[in-house]
Amino acid sequence: MRMLGAAKAAWRWVRSAPGTYVWLLALLFTTLFLRHLPDNVEERFLGKRSTNLHHLAEDPLRVLFSSAFWLEGGGWLGYLVLFTIFHATAERWLGTWRWLCVVVIAHVGATYISEGVLYEGIRHGYVAESAVNTLDVGVSYGLAGIMGILVYRIVDPWRFVYLAGLLLFYGVPLIFATNFTAIGHMSALLLGLACYPITRARAGTWNPMDLWHSRRIAGLP
């Protein structure tokens, strides 16, 4: 009975965040597909779906959409956890359409900011011209944006602790290993924070201490 109750609760959670789990299902299929490709074929295949400078100049809408459905190097189970913690929580809070707006703003905005910086590096000779064809696919920009907007879901003072953790997590690579992906992740986080107006109509905040109190009531350590 306890397992049945847990299964029902899990299903209710999934149904409350349809966009998140449809996206995850699509990522599962594409990840399994990539596992059956030889390494040299996989790189060329993903390269055609990369939001690099070459493709953004020729066919931006296609690659901006398709790049969000492939995970370079696999790791689907890790994203299952991250999507459940961050994306599903944000979608349940904001609603599917507001959640999707934040994802698109972060994914598209961070892509153009990071690739714009890369373009300037190429133009001034700091980066090799071959970087116009660099591989850039994945879901991490959208995830960073959602992590950013969830700052407004948490009550004070915990939101500042959470925000500090995000800035540290994305800021360290930006300082010590600056590259276009580090710039993209920080840009996506800031774009998520800039989506604050989307949250104004959404009621409800979360206090991390509520989880601790509920565990004590349940007699859990």
Tens digits of per-residue pLDDT, 8-42? 888 898 999 999 999 999 999 999 998 888 878 88
Q: Please count the other Cβ atoms lying within 10 Å of the Cβ belonging to residue 104.
A: 15
- Mean pLDDT, the chain, as a whole number? 88
Q: Token pair for residue 124?
A: 């001034």
Q: Token pair for residue 179?
A: 């590259």
Confidence of residue 140 (pLDDT cuts 50, 70, 90): very high
CB 185 within 8 A of CB 141: yes
Residue 176's pLDDT is 84
HSE-up of residue 169 (Cα within 13 Å, Cβ side): 12
Domain ranges of the chain: 18-31+53-200
CA angle 190, 196, 202 (to 5 degrees): 140
pTM over 0.95: no
**Residue pLDDT, tens place only, 68-95:** 999 976 689 999 999 999 999 999 999 9
